[in-house]
Structure 1
Amino acid sequence: MAASFIPDFRLMWYLEELRRKEFVKFKELIRQEAWNRGLPPITGSEIRNVKRQGFAGLLKERYGEQQAWDLALSIFPKLNRKDLCEKAARESAIHAYRAHVKEKFSRLWCRESFTEVQGCFDQTITQEEGASLEDYFTPRAARKPHTVVLHGVPRIGKTRLLTKLMLAWSDGRLYRDRFSFVFYFCCRELKQLTATSLVGLISRERPDCIPITEIVAQPERLLFIIDSFEELCCTLSEPESELCSDWREERPVKTVLGSLLRRKILPEAALLLAVMPERPPGLQNILEHPNMQVLTGFQQSHRKQYFCCLFEDRGQALEAFSLVRDNEQLFTMCRVPLLCWMVGTCLKQELERGRDLAATCCRISSVFLSYVFNLFTPKDAHCPSQQDRDQLKALCSLAAEGMWTDTWVFGEEELGRNGIADADIPTLLDLKVFRKYSESVRAYSFIHMCLQEFYAAMFYLLDSPGGHPSPAVGCTEALLLTFLKKEKSSWVFVGSFLMGLLRESEQQKLDALFGSQRSRAVEPQLRGYLRSLTEQEDFLQQMEFPLLFYGLFEMQSDAFASQVMRGLRGVHLPIRENADLAVSAYCLKYCSNLREVCFQVSNVFEEERGLEPMISDLCVSGEIRILFEVLTSNPNLRNLTLTCTNLSHKDELVLCSTLTHPVCHIEQLLNSSFSSEGCRVLSFVLLRNNKLKVLDLSGNELEEGMPALCEALGHPDCTLQHLIKLCVNVGNFILWGHLCLAGLQPLSVPC
């Protein structure tokens, strides 16, 4: 019990539990025990008429909080108060564990927080974060016990938030009266185990002085946090007969955690699962009433605050932030705290070297290359030393192997094969190229997957990329083919980085980095290869058009884009983020022979609040209108499809205005969704546009707009030939009948 600590207010609670005679005896026994231990004595006059609160204060003042509690704890058995002894034992165990948690997670924070900026987002949980975390486990109706799933992209800050949670709980600032014990399981560490039990997992996370029976006695007061669950590659789809219900039974880690998550072990306990999106697939349908939460990283205000703390000069901070804000893709990346640190650090170094920030911020590949260049090039030099070049080439080789083998954590074998020696590791850790993967294993990863992708892209601009020691590493053409077909879901930027590095301004930096001009030989090779791909119909059926478009946007070469895009006849463009709009608009202007385009505009995260996203329809911003410019800039375009796209009324006006433009030759408008007000505007289009032949109003349930639309459709000047899937309510059915008598050919039965 010596390790335990309960403040004087807690001692006061125990004294209040004593009956009057017990309290009198307690005071006398305390005097005797203090004398036996050689402590400063308490006189009879001091305790004669003192009340409970006064006596607790006297003990604290005379002996200190810890020693006062130790004295009190030794007296409870002599009063035959077994209940107080047991309660004190539980309190002491909980406190001992809280102290253990605080020490452990303070170390973890220091190890992981190399991107911290003084005075900005420290380990103290914010009021906003605390409120959200408390709300996670607020009972909703009768749905108890509670399972929370916190998902977010890699390095968005899941582990960071969970570390703050554990520290806040250890200090009593979070879940104070909700959970007696909170256990954190990191699957990155646990996957090294073979067989274990839930008792075994708990024992790894608690001081030896806490009896396990005491922990599981109240399972409803337990919270299990399972971080990085995707590391186990667990599907949670095992038959129930393969799960276990005994918390003492040893089974594979996947089985134990699967049994916990599927409520076979300690079903009353609360669970918090942190995982990447859609890993494993269908997770929401497997778990019992999960509370799904999205972690979206830094809000706009956070990103601005971070820049202001990172730069010593506020004016420079706001200038850098403004340039980043203007680049939608770069600004979106800065939602990830680590990438926000990397971008801010890069721009700060660029300023110190007297470089133009606007040129650096123009594309994400420019920022990443500047960051790497500054990392390996001394401030007063124009290029790296030969030793630094060799180290950089080894990193590029390692990154490329990891991309092709789906490896993000590297051990001694992978490091050695690619030319990275043990002596290099401390330097790479100091440079913040690597981060230690775990405390128990000698393994390392790049500080972020995006940086691994960037190093891998640079590998293909080295002198001899074909000579890789791993046979799994493909050639440049294989890289582009795999990327554009998205055969590897983990590849996000590598193809865009490769194409972005072919810009003349980036080639000059690459020449300085590697001491060669290999990149200039790659550009015509890739241009010819991409042009041949875009002329193959079977490939186009498999290609992810946004990936190609982002690559061309990064490269910003009119000649290159024109040659690659001129063979395209049709494209399908899902619009998920604001950055997709500018990228699509840039590339579509080079599709000179385009005849069909399909836009699919989804709801996106326009801005976040706290830990939960505020969902906002991208179309409401009106920026989708830049996509409609393709209708007037390309005279060959005949078909426009708007899949899952809800237009704002302003966007409806822009689209209708574009459809009546003299150089717009759209003949088929498919899957379009118009409001009642939009249908009134559309009725004018039908009277003025003699080129539109097929109109698809799938899913429209029109009321007020129906009469105006029917009037236009029945007008002699309307040349529309087919109307598809118009939902007609009973009140407008007579109007629809008149249209059929007028000769309009519906391609499907009306609702």
Structure 2
Amino acid sequence: MAVLAAGPAGHGKLLTVHRELLVHHIGNTRCLLDNLLHSGYFSGEDAEIVRACPTKPDQVRKILDLVQSKGEEVSEFLLYVLQQLEDAYVDLRPWLSEIGFSASGLIRTKTVVNTDPVSRYVWKLRQQLGRDSRFILCYAQREELPLEHMYTDTVMELVGFQDESLGRLDGPAGLLDRSSGVLSELGETVLVSGDAGAGKSVLLQRLQGLWAEGRLDAGLRFSFHFRCRTFSCFREGDRVSLRDLLFRHFCCPEQDPDEVFAFLLRFPHTALFTFDGLDELHSDLDLSRAPDACCPWEPAHPLVLLASLLGGRLLGGAAKVLTARTGTPVPRRLLRKKVRLLGFSPEHVRAYVRRMFPGRGLQRRLADHLEASPSLCGLCSVPLFCWIVLVCYRHFYGVSDSCLRLPECSVTLTDIFLLLAEVQLDRTRPGSLVQRNTRGRAETLRAGRDALLALGRVAHRGLERSLFVFGRQELRASGVREGDLQLGFLRALPGPDEAQPAYEFIHTTVQAFLAAFFLVADGSVGTRDMLRSFREWAPPGRAAGAGSCFPPLPCLGGRGAAREEPWKSRDHLQFTNLFLCGLLSKDRRALLRPLVPAAELRRKRRALWARLSSSLRAYLGSLPRVRSGGFSQVQAMPTFLWMARCIYETQSEKVGRLAARGVCADYLKLTYCDACSADCSALAFLLHHLRRPLALDLDNNSLGDYGVRELRPCFSRLTVVRLSVNQITDAGVKVLYEELTKYKILTFLGLYNNQITDVGAGYVARILEECRGLTHVKLGANKITCEGGKRLAVAVKNSKWIVDLGMWGNRIGDEGAKAFAEALRNHPSLGFLSLAFNGISAEGGKCLAQALQQNTALKTFWLTKNELNDEAAECLAEMLRVNQTLEHLWLIQNQITAKGVAQLAAALRNNTGIVEICVNGNLLGPEEAKVFASEKRIVCS
């Protein structure tokens, strides 16, 4: 197609030459008429002439005729309007770019009025989401906090299908990055998972706010936000179309909804969908029997629309972000990437304190108190609990910089939620605006007992059926009054019936707390009913089946999974158990005595204590045991952590001693249990009551330095401490040094894949020197350089008891290798040493080889992934002619050629002790490797 340049006199001619192109692609004549009228180029009579034309093409032709008749300036203005209103004339973008149109200075001074339905709808969406995301609703329904002032990023981690870490993610905008962390190009959905209170909902709120402010990808023109639990409000027979789901149940265009919907269908990649709380979705609808929704105009059940949106059958190519609790299964075929929220790091907690408390002196005192209280530090790693803790501090202890009174005793999660209840009840109580409330907690709870019981009855009935959204009828049936709705425990949300809102608790943990309060304080609840939620602690193989009170929900499970139960998260029941233990603890007797008869309290407390101890014994007794390394090992699961949390919540030494008797294994594995620092105080509370030594394996969790500090009470019992892959820094290693050297019973220390530097390596060296029973140390994949390597090598040299040392994946280099060479010379006990992946070159390799000529203890030596060459191989060959005790030598992925391998092979003629020399991954071709095929001890592939 020949293109005519738009010169000083060419704009009208452009309209003539490309007349049919314009007639074909201009569908919105209203925008053109509005702008021509607003600029004064058209009169009202001109507009009426255009509107009188029967069809859109005829109207376009009439506009072009009138514009060209009015001269070049009007023709140029018409082109300028087409260029500025991109959404209205999206099909003309390539043509405008091709002709290279650029308006003159005079035309650019003209105002372009955007009356395009798509643009107006985008503006309306930005206004609505901007308002919705501007404030965080505080606990009192009347108080809102600006999101911009309160939001703090949490630690976000990209993970693979097996939840393996793929690196950190910076900020909410990274969720929409189409390159990093992609697991499947065919997947449509970004899954954000995290524990209760990890900040999933607030993260989506922040994402919506960024979109509303235009700070996300400019190509995202639409944004739709849904709470998954609202899909539970629809009845099984309800049917809606995708158009109605978006426009009737979210935001309706002010004009021409058909045109807006057509644009969305044509350009789905311009839309962002966020779905919050998949784990809170509850429905008996069997999606495996429902047809897929592939047509955007045909009505279907809203859950079918949800599944089709997430799977890409509807609006394929749109950006979709879904949040769910940790452990909520989502089919792989839906996923584009997975993101795990890890909560607040210590830096995040400090930043959050700074945001909530402006005075520097106050910040410092509060931070010092949190540092000195491990249980609160653990709670504050969860953003929701951090918020509750700080809000309660602010409410009860004042915010003036001159005085901050802090509690002296240990504060449990039950304490925090009791404070929360008191805050809510106090804020609705009439009183002076200037006089501080002096009513005690017991009096406050007694005054609000009826309201708490009614809300607790709703909460309990909901948890029994996994319901989190309630209608007015359900609230009235439980005795909830109108005033109770204003306490702040419930918040309104749009229901399926627009005339009657639905209600939800502000968080699932609040629902669990109120349910526990109801079970304790209601006299009609017997011990059997009170302990019903403890069925989750049944030994493996007994919890499922007919005894479960949760109907299966095969949503999104695909064909053939009709009766499976995909939503396996039971955190709401576990929190109910935890709060039961806290409310029935001895410390709460005085608080609950005005609410519950003393005899009933004693009866419920005795029943709970008996169930706690028996459940722990039955659970651990049901787990399989493995004899390994002289230990009877048992692999516990997250259920054990919940048991420990509940025992800790009682704050009862008697309960702790009874429960500790149930720990009958001497090696407790809690690997991959999603344990956090808050769990360590619970574990320590339980394990310090043991009367015998214990091996504790907490590898692959998220304990951090706070977790190490919280384990202090039980270090006197631990002979094995495994804390690999736990984000531990030098500060945590310092705590280990201070505690482990007090008791000197340690035999195994595992700190692989943490964040330990040379400073921490120094602490480990001191542990090795002072703990004379320590035989195994694992320090691989840390940040130790030659200085830390030298310090450790000296400790190894002085240790006559070390048997196994793993240093894989550090950076000790040749200087560190030389220090280890000196340690190896004549060492009497070290049988395994890994210096793999440490940047060791030929110089360091030669020193190690020479030292091994004077060593008769080492059996296995790993030098994989270093920079050893043929020169180092020659020295190692000389060593093998002398050393007859080394059995395994790994030289994988170095820079050794066939020449070096030949020297090693030749040395084997004089060595009968070596079992294998692994040289695969070196500079050895397939044909060269065949030369050594006859020597079975040389492993080339």
Query: How far off its partner does 1:276 sit?
Result: 1.7
Residue 93 of structure 1 aligns with an amino acid whose one-letter code is P
Residue 455 (structure 1) aligned to one of 504, 511, 514: 514
**Within the alignment, does 1:407 sit opposite 2:473 as a pair?**
no
Aligned residue for 1:281, secondary structure, equals coil
Are 1:217 and 2:352 an aligned pair? no
CA gap of 1:292–1:587, structure 2 versus 1, over 3 A, is closer
Query: Which of 267, 273, 284 is equivalent to 2:321?
Result: 273
Select 1:508's aligned residue among 575, 579, 590: 590
Map 1:173-572 onto structure 2 (within 5 A): 173-175=214-216, 177-193=218-234, 194-204=238-248, 205-207=251-253, 208-210=255-257, 211=259, 212-232=261-281, 243=292, 245-267=294-316, 269-278=317-326, 280-281=328-329, 285-287=332-334, 289-290=336-337, 292=339, 294=341, 296=343, 299-300=348-349, 302-308=351-357, 319-320=365-366, 322-324=368-370, 326-328=372-374, 330-331=376-377, 333-334=379-380, 339-351=385-397, 357-359=406-408, 362-376=411-425, 379-382=437-440, 383-384=443-444, 388-411=448-471, 415=475, 419-421=478-480, 424=481, 426-440=482-496, 442-459=501-518, 461-462=520-521, 464=523, 466-467=525-526, 474-475=531-532, 478=535, 488-491=570-573, 493-501=575-583, 504-514=586-596, 516=598, 518-519=600-601, 526-527=608-609, 529-532=611-614, 537-539=620-622, 541=634, 542=636, 544=638, 545-565=640-660, 568=663, 569-572=666-669
Q: Distance in 2 between matches of 1:737 and 1:242?
A: 74
Tell me: CA distance 1:286–1:325, structure 2 relative to 1, closer, same or farther (3 Å). farther
Shift of residue 618 of structure 1? 2.3
Question: Secondary structure in 1 aligned to 2:698?
Answer: strand
| Secondary structure at 1:349 match in 2 | helix
CA separation of 1:244 and 1:336: change in aligned 2, threshold 3 A: same
Counterpart of 2:792, as a letter, is: V
For residue 729 of structure 2, give the secondary structure of its aligned residue in structure 1: helix
**Secondary structure at the residue paired with 1:399?**
helix
State the shift of 1:314 in Å: 7.7
SS of alignment partner, residue 224 of structure 1: strand
Aligned residue type for 1:510: L
After the TM superposition, which residues 639-678 of structure 1 pair with which residues of structure 2 at under 5 Å, given as runs? 640=748, 642=750, 645-646=753-754, 648=756, 649-661=758-770, 665=773, 669=776, 673=780
Counterpart of 1:101 in structure 2 is 125
Give the aligned CA root-mean-square deviation in angstroms.
5.7
Three-state SS of the structure 2 residue aligned to 1:741 is coil
Q: Deviations over 1:26-63 (max 9, x none)?
A: 699938847999xxxxxxxxxxxxxxxxxxxxxxxxxx
**Cα separation, partners in 2 of 1:98 and 1:77, compared to 1, 3 Å:** farther
Is structure 2 residue 699 aligned with structure 1 residue 600?
yes
Pairwise CA distance, 1:435 = 1.7
**1:588-737 alignment runs, 5 A limit:** 588-602=687-701, 618-627=727-736, 640=748, 642=750, 645-646=753-754, 648=756, 649-661=758-770, 665=773, 669=776, 673=780, 681=792, 684-685=795-796, 688-690=799-801, 695=804, 697=806, 715=826, 717-718=828-829, 727-729=862-864, 731=873
SS in 2 for 1:183: strand
Distance 1:427 1:362 in 2: 30
Residues 676-697 of structure 1 deviation map (CA, whole Å, 9 limit, x = unaligned): 855973674586455x6x6474
Deviations 1:526-585 (A, max 9, x none): 555545555555246555444344444444444543443256333234585444555555
Distance 1:233 1:191, change over 3 A: closer
Question: Which string of whole-angstrom CA distances, capped at 9 and with x for unpartnered residues, describes residues 84-120 of structure 1?
Answer: 6897966521343135325644664589734596774
1:538 is paired with a residue of what secondary structure? helix
Displacement of 1:463 in angstroms is 6.4
Change (3 A) 1:633 1:741: same
Is contact 2:354-2:363 (8 Å) kept? Answer: no
1:62 aligned residue: none
SS of aligned partner of 2:263 = helix
How far apart are the structure 1 equivalents of 2:315 and 2:40? 42
**Secondary structure, counterpart of 2:728 in structure 1:** helix
Change (3 A) 1:125 1:586: closer
- Answer whether contact 2:489 2:506 (CA < 8 A) is retained: yes
Matched residue, 1:79: 67
Q: How many residues align?
A: 672
User: What fraction of aligned residue pairs are identical, expressed as a percent?
Assistant: 19
Partners of 1:511 and 1:517 within 8 A in 2: no
Deviations 1:392-411 (CA, angstroms, capped at 9, x unpaired): 23334443444444333344
TM-score (norm 2): 0.57
TM-score, normalization: structure 1? Answer: 0.69
**Cα separation, 2, equivalents of 1:398 and 1:645:** 46
How far did 1:430 drift? 1.6
Letter of the 1:217 counterpart: R
Corresponding residue of 2:147? 121
How far 1:598 sits from its partner (Å)?
1.8
In the alignment, structure 1 segments of 5+ residues that lack a partner are 1-15, 38-73, 608-615
Instruction: Work out whether residues 435 and 444 of structure 1, in 8 Å CA contact, stay in contact via their aligned partners in 2.
Output: yes
Distance 1:197 1:665 in 2: 70
What code does the residue aligned with 2:509 have?
Answer: C
Q: Distance in 2 between matches of 1:487 and 1:182?
A: 29
Counterpart-to-counterpart distance in 2, 1:464 and 1:539? 35
Any idea what the Cα deviations from partners look like across 1:581-637, whole Å, max 9, x if unmatched? 555555543322123222315467889xxxxxxxx96222431454567756668x6
Separation (CA, whole Å) in 2 of partners of 1:642 and 1:376? 49
Q: 1:98 to 1:17 in 2, by over 3 A?
A: farther
Q: Does the Cα contact within 8 Å between 2:194 and 2:200 map onto a contact in 1? A: yes
Partner of 1:3 in structure 2?
A: none
